[in-house]
């Protein structure tokens, strides 16, 4: 429309502001029939339905994701194998006969034998327990330590945040595997190698990442209106942190912890492969891979089976973390 014209709302015609005249042409307006615009069906809301919480919405989303279903089935299978290995093999994993050294698979020994003549299948089954225990308990300790430090630093701020953040930077500067190798060479750890020494070592260098994630989530949640309302109603800072801030900051913590669980399983296998992790008398996938490296050319299947179980387990936890992230983070959902 030219600058010298405006619109006459009453007549529906453009008006010339200089001449004060109405133009010849008329603008037609189209209004769709009401039966062609079913807005009532689109905008209808079930007032009797109970509103879903964040966790209920996440669960409803997870149930529809094939990625979550596949990863959950695989993880459940690994947990059952670790808890009840005798259900899946009748062979004694500690029984070794040199006459069976590097023998291929046969009836009752589907994966064959290793260099010492031990049944590979039974060792892989019983080795699941140690590897899974390291991953689960390391993750739990990291959540407790890193989550507590990150929550206190993010919620209170000030000098508490400064001290705890600098403490986390000191540990964060050391890579996980390199730091674990150094600690495992200390006399107190080297002379008492066990599942728990590996768990403690990995937890020492694993908590800073989770602390940073928790700190950022708490800082974002502490300024919410419901937190300010709880403080105005007389709730103390600590109770406000526990009852309101942490429950609304737990989503990224769960996602990171789920993915890191697989990382810790790989870290244990790496340390055992390098000879500084679990002692040889404890069956684990890392120890079996370390034993098989000398026979890689002559008997590659000896290394393939524990490596395959390790890869599938780690991949399952990574896929579960991705599915949980998509369900808890609306911005990460497809089509959002």
248: nearest Cα among 209, 230, 222: 222
pLDDT of residue 295: 74
CB atoms within 10 A of CB 93: 18
pLDDT of residue 138: 92
pLDDT of residue 243: 78
CA distance 314 to 131: 11
Block means of pLDDT (10 residues each) for the chain, length 336 residues? Answer: 49 50 56 59 55 66 79 89 86 75 71 76 86 90 89 83 83 84 85 86 88 85 77 75 78 84 88 83 83 77 84 87 73 49
pLDDT of residue 36: 60
Compute φ and ψ for 99, nearest 5 degrees.
-65, -15
CA distance 172 to 165: 10
CA distance 276 to 135: 17
> Residue 162 class from Cβ within 10 Å (0-12 exposed, 13-18 middle, 19+ buried)?
exposed
pLDDT of residue 80: 92
pLDDT of residue 206: 86
Question: Taking CA 285 as the corner, what is the angle to CA 283 and CA 286, rounded to the nearest 5 degrees?
Answer: 95
CB 281, CB 195: distance < 8 Å: no
102: nearest Cα among 115, 93, 111: 115
Helices 301-328 and 66-83: crossing angle in degrees, nearest 10, is 130
Domains and CATH numbers, the chain: 5-43 (no CATH), 57-331 (1.10.3720.10)
pLDDT of residue 247: 79
**Residues facing 106 on adjacent strands:** 109
Global model pTM greater than 0.95: no
């Amino acid at each position: 429309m030219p600058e010298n014209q405006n619109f006459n709302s009453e007549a529906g015609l453009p008006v010339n502001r200089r001449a004060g005249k109405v133009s010849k042409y008329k603008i037609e307006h189209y209004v769709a029939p009401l039966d062609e615009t079913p807005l009532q069906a689109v905008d209808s809301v079930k007032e009797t339905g109970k509103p879903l919480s964040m966790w209920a919405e996440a669960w409803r989303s997870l149930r529809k994701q094939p990625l979550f279903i596949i990863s959950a089935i695989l993880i459940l299978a690994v947990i059952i194998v670790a808890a009840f290995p005798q259900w899946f093999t009748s062979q004694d994993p500690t029984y070794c006969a040199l006459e069976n050294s590097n023998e291929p698979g046969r009836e009752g020994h589907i994966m064959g034998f290793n260099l010492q003549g031990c049944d590979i299948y039974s060792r892989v089954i019983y080795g699941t327990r140690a590897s899974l225990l390291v991953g689960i308990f390391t993750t739990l300790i990291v959540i407790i330590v890193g989550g507590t430090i990150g929550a206190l630093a993010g919620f209170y701020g000030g000098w508490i945040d400064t001290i705890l953040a600098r403490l986390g930077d000191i540990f964060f500067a050391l890579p996980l595997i390199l730091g674990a190798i150094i600690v495992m060479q200390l006399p107190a750890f080297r002379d008492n190698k066990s599942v728990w020494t590996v768990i403690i070592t990995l937890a020492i260098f694993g908590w800073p990442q989770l602390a940073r994630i928790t700190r950022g989530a708490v800082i974002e949640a502490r300024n919410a209106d419901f937190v300010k309302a709880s403080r105005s109603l007389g709730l103390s800072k600590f109770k406000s942190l526990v009852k309101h801030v942490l429950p609304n900051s737990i989503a990224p913590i769960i996602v990171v912890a789920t993915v890191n669980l697989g990382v810790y399983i790989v870290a244990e296998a790496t340390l055992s492969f390098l000879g500084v992790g679990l002692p040889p008398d404890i069956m684990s996938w890392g120890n079996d891979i370390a034993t098989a490296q000398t026979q890689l050319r002559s008997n590659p299947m000896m290394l393939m089976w524990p490596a395959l179980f390790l890869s599938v387990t780690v991949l399952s936890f990574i896929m579960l973390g991705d599915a949980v992230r998509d369900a808890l983070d609306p911005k990460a959902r497809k089509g959002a």
